[in-house]
Structure 1
Amino acid sequence: MTKLKTLTGLVTAAALAAFTGPALAANSDTLYVFNWSQYMNPEIIKQFEKKYDVKVVQSYYNSQPEMFAKLRAGGDSQYDIVVPSNYYVPRLIKTGLIQKLDKSEVPNYDNLMDRFKKPPYDPSGEYVAAYQWGDTGIAYNEKTLGEQPESWSILFDSKANPKYPFAMGTDAQVMFGSACASLGYSYNCEGRDKWKKAAQLILKTKQRANFSGFQDATPTLKQLARGNIAAGMAYNGDYAFDKSENPEGFKNIKFVVPKEGAELWVDSMAIPAHAPHPKLAHKFINFILKAKIGAELSNWNAYASPNKAAKPYLDKALTEPPIMPTDEQMKRLHFTPVLEGDDLQFVQQLWTEVQSR
């Protein structure tokens, strides 16, 4: 894997792009990508730039709400590629923030596994192309907390951790789903009564003296490696990536998929509604879906590939836990429900109350 210092340079370029995006968007030989941090192999970007004689400028986000807010604030006309998670795709479609793909410009779409071609969050298969997939679990310091069961009790039960700092996630639906699972409901629970009970559990947990705050999954792993917290929510691929980059810092950090149920997610490539360079965006999606490029991407960022053509080129580690869940773990994993209208507004208001109290 490429060292993280390479990413630092890309972040610097991204910061510049954030200030000059609308002006630079006039450049027809520049592609603007809005993606999760630590999620794209810099060598792939170099290959794309060389092949099409263009420049790629990347900007980053650490959460779905951050990405959504940026697009609604005009980012849909600043970026050419965005990478939303499954349950945000219908929201982006309904609000008109992304456009349909021209499949004639993306022949490598056929490389995707069948399950990703017309998924529940894009049943017509018209708006997105799968990028990577994985799960959200718990990372914790086994030396500090001792060996823990594969359970949400690591976060929600004060008996499991009475004194060491811990963090909870920032995404409303993922947190409510996790709390629902801890209470004995399914992770993909729906209904206002269940959401209220989940909110009560999170509030109770938040009031513990050793709660360090709500934190995105990627920074959580950095805090774990530094010893600043003892437990928090994390993505399986980020955990594997950071552990390979910093084996000493992660020698006592363990990742578990809670037995009560957890999030299964798929991140996909989409083109914002008013992307400045849609034709170049289609070329980029098609490039990422090439067999060897798809494998190169997963081999670098340590996430499972949705690309069936990439399978012969994948590292062995990507076929084993924590990257590839076991059959037993797959039974525990669920998509986060797609919420709309009054239900979505209710959950958002409830989450605002949880965070502010």
Structure 2
Amino acid sequence: MKNRRSEHRHPTTSASRAPVSRRRFLGGSAMAAGGLVLGPSILAACGSDGGSSTALKLARPDKPVTLPTVGDAVAAGKAHEGGTLQILNYVDYLNPDVIARFEETYGVKTAVTTYDTEEGALNKLRSGAFTPDLIIGMTDSVLSRLVAAELLQPLNRSYLSNFGNVIEGLRDPYYDVGAQYTTPYIIYSTGIGYRTDMDVDTSYFESGNGWDILWDSAYSGRLGILDSYRDVIGSVLHRNGEDINTGDQKVLNAALEDLREMSAATNPKIDILAYTEVPAGTRVVNQCWSGDMLLGVWYLPEDASWTELGYWQPDEMVTGNDVFCVARNAERPVLAHEFINFFLDVDNALENFGWTGYQPALEALDAQTLIDWEYVPANLANALITPAQYAKGNRAVALEPDVDARWTDVWAKFTAG
């Protein structure tokens, strides 16, 4: 690997452009789309609207799924296409400098069309109004729906010479056995961000069940939770030792009562602004994604130290990842593969991480490397995920339509007050 240390961005310096977490865009439609999981109508109707469809198979870590093969992968040995690579992606989820280098390397252009939620992206794809070559940012919870709607093509591994850089747990993922359709982009966990300099009782985190702090009235008005029903309800279930994908109505009813107790005790703000609010000090405790605190160092006041931010995640953490996919009707499938391979290169992924704040799913970019090379301050080391932690992590999987309806009903009752 090339030594690029001179290019590393140290969190103690000011940034000319603070990166924006792509997950900030999920909150606006969390009630309708449930953050990262599609609502019941989308779950039940992947092949409607006159579009073709195939069998819907929902994966579980203990029940891996080999997705049905839809169409053929692009043939091996072809030269990449020219022109403009059309990408469907979240806003601000790729480093412009790395994209520019890709364009220069391959003598092409790229154009990015954005989406705010997975539901919106799926609707955009199914409508046929836009046909991208490459899709970035989807999670495993929606992958089976993309395949069922026949919107993806299988990958040809011969174009992905850097696939071996991927963390072992995602080379043959439970949600896409054999990695037929996906390569991973980033990994993250769900936990709690906090200020280390504002009298936060860290014994909660030392106890092993840091979720309890969300019910401490000492932080009333200074505490936030994610505007994502899967993450919030899932954290309550995790706190209670329950299955974070349960469909048991009694268990969900108990979670609702716990949420109401939380509301009475701490009056939490419900949004996805932890990456700005905790650094600003307007909140001292906030449920968040790991990338929010890694981004947060760029939002601290100029006279603040990065040591003022902390992150807790449970030992049995909840982990997730986003993926690259090639669209079924891509006009430039070889170029799309080349783009994926470019971002699986360790140097390129490292530079991309320095801009986005979300951890690449590559073995070489372990926690110590990112700390030693000053991409992450040592006090936020636990906001990074090791391959072993990812492999053992709990996953918020896609829910059956009737179960998803129970979850959204709990969320609606909670947010209604």
| 1:191 alignment partner in structure 2 | 248
Structure 2 vs 1, CA of residues 237 and 289 (structure 1 numbering), >3 Å: closer, same or farther? same
Cα distance in structure 1, aligned partners of 2:98 and 2:322: 18
Deviation (angstroms), 1:82: 1.9
Deviation (angstroms), 1:186: 4.7
| 2:103 alignment partner in structure 1 | 49
| 1:289 alignment partner in structure 2 | 344
| 2:267 alignment partner in structure 1 | 210
| 1:16 alignment partner in structure 2 | none
| 2:333 alignment partner in structure 1 | 278
Asked whether 1:354 is paired with 2:408, we answer no
| 2:404 alignment partner in structure 1 | 344
Q: Secondary structure at the match of 1:144?
A: coil
TM-score normalized by the length of structure 1: 0.76
Cα distance in structure 2, aligned partners of 1:54 and 1:7: 25
Mapping of 1:43-122 within 5 angstroms? 43-60=97-114, 64=118, 67-68=121-122, 71=125, 77-78=131-132, 80-122=134-176
* Structure with more of its chain in helix, by fraction: 1
| 1:138 alignment partner in structure 2 | 192
Cα distance in structure 2, aligned partners of 1:281 and 1:145: 49
Deviation (angstroms), 1:272: 3.6
- The amino acid of 1:335's aligned partner reads R
Question: What percent identity do the matched residue pairs reach?
Answer: 21
Of residues 234, 237, 243 in structure 1, which corresponds to 2:297? Answer: 243
Of residues 370, 383, 388 in structure 2, which corresponds to 1:315? Answer: 370
Deviation (angstroms), 1:220: 1.9
Cα distance in structure 2, aligned partners of 1:274 and 1:126: 16
Deviations 1:309-346 (A, max 9, x none): 66799534479722434799779841213323322343
| 1:159 alignment partner in structure 2 | 217
- The amino acid of 2:321's aligned partner reads V
Give unpaired runs (5+ residues) of structure 1: 9-26
TM-score normalized by the length of structure 2: 0.67
Cα RMSD (Å) of the superposition? 3.7
Structure label with greater radius of gyration: 2
Deviation (angstroms), 1:178: 0.3
Q: Secondary structure at the match of 1:123?
A: coil
Structure 2 vs 1, CA of residues 45 and 121 (structure 1 numbering), >3 Å: closer, same or farther? same
Cα distance in structure 2, aligned partners of 1:106 and 1:337: 27
Q: Secondary structure at the match of 1:99?
A: coil
Structure 2 vs 1, CA of residues 145 and 57 (structure 1 numbering), >3 Å: closer, same or farther? farther
Deviations 1:222-280 (A, max 9, x none): 12222333322222233123315637275533211135x44211221123444454332
- The amino acid of 1:256's aligned partner reads W
Deviations 1:46-93 (A, max 9, x none): 111111222223455565556556555657625632212233323433
* Residues 298 and 314 in structure 1, CA contact (< 8 A), matched pair in contact too: no
Deviation (angstroms), 1:129: 0.2
